[in-house]
């Protein structure tokens, strides 16, 4: 099954929304999506929490990992693969 390609803005919105659905991610205010190059992962993107609010950073990280695992099965980052 092929994955849907999303722009970085679309993917950021989906991942942030999924993080905030979890209790430990409710206070996350900002994330950053980055591209993973090569074939070391089943997805071509990762997420970093920039603003965790009052949430415990390790709890917010668990919410981000859960979101990445779930959404990484359905979405890939639309990249500019011009070499």
Does 83 reside within a domain?
A: no
Domains: count for the chain: 1
**Full domain range(s) for residue 37:** 4-77
pTM confidence score: 0.87
In a domain, 82, yes or no: no
With a cut of 80, say whether residue 78 has pLDDT above it: yes
The pLDDT tens digits for 29-76 are 999 999 998 877 788 999 999 988 776 788 899 999 999 999 999 999
Tell me whether residue 12 is in a domain.
Answer: yes
Which residue pairs, CB below 8 angstroms and at least 24 apart, start in 65-74? 66/18, 66/22, 67/15, 67/18, 67/19, 67/22, 67/25, 68/15, 68/43, 70/18, 71/11, 71/14, 71/15, 71/18, 72/42, 72/43, 72/45, 73/3, 73/42, 73/43, 74/3, 74/4
pLDDT at residue 82, as a whole number: 42
Residue 17 lies in a domain: yes
């Amino acid at each position: 099954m092929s994955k849907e390609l999303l722009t970085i803005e679309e993917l950021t919105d989906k991942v942030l929304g999924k993080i905030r659905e979890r209790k430990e991610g409710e206070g996350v205010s900002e994330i950053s999506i980055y591209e993973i190059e090569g074939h070391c992962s089943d997805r071509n993107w990762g997420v970093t929490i920039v603003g965790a609010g009052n949430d415990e950073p390790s709890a917010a990280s668990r919410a981000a990992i859960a979101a990445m695992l779930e959404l990484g099965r359905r979405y890939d980052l639309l990249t500019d693969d011009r070499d």
